[in-house]
Structure 1
Amino acid sequence: MRDSTQVFGSLPLRLENLINLRNLILVDDLLDCKYLSRQAPAVTIPQRLGYRIQLGDRNSPVTSSSETLQPTLLQIFLRGNPFRGSAGLTQVVEDWFKTLLTNGELQALVIYGSPYLKNQFLPFLPPEIPCISTFGQIPSAQAIALELLFGNNH
């Protein structure tokens, strides 16, 4: 599994003195999401570290619900489909990415499923912001990616 995981940026992620942490998880369709549950590592590992969860899909608008800085872990679950395409989620993801980057809130980026999506974001990602990309979306892939991201913090 580690062979299919790619890491960019500084690791592990530093969490000292951070408050108002947000774990933003974007998926293709919230109603048809087999790899994500309350027990999924993408939810539980950040939750143990003090992150508040926010879920979104291709129908979710980009909104800022807080006037204070929200350091955000952006996790993207995207699996390309040659018959359906994934343009809807890609635009939502791009909008969230741009907003978080512009506001100085993007703390880290983790991409599950599509190995090509990271290429859209890496040119704009400052080198100090970690990015992890993995082909898998299953719980073990989530756990490996987040263990790399957080190191011994969790």
Structure 2
Amino acid sequence: MTACRTRPPCHCRPVDAAKATAAHYEGRTGSYCPSTFGAIRTGALDALAEATADVYRTAIQGPLPDTFTPQRFSVNSNNNFFDLEQYVEAITTDPALLDRWRKALDDAVISQSHSPAMWGAPLLRHCGLSTNILLTRADYRRHGYNRLSWPARVRPVIHNEP
């Protein structure tokens, strides 16, 4: 702890720190390549949670559309992370809610970037935030997800169970 107190404070803006970190990884290959970055304005997360809850409350229920191929952040079959914006676009039934949600996302995500691939999966998009797509009630409890404040606030859709 003492060492931290003697360091000068950082005067950089979070967006600049995110861009510098992303630039550090650009052009790297192999194990140094996979990365996604998002600088988040945490004060805007309450509005994003509210907008997300509204989308989830009116979302497509049951299985995901056959046309939906989620942006994966890994080729591993146990992959739990997907692009939040792409997922919301796929399940939203109300264009006005989607517009409101996008505004909340834009307010929350100050900056985002990603490498061309991550753990073997091509990265075509990354909005700055990822999500867990729940297919069963067991997915909701896996790794303590149900104990986090985000799912408690937004009440995620469980797609393959009534």
TM-score w.r.t. length of structure 2: 0.27
Q: Which structure has the highest strand share of the two?
A: 1
Q: Which structure has the highest helix share of the two?
A: 2
Please tell me whether Structure 1 or Structure 2 has the larger radius of gyration of its CA atoms. Answer: 2
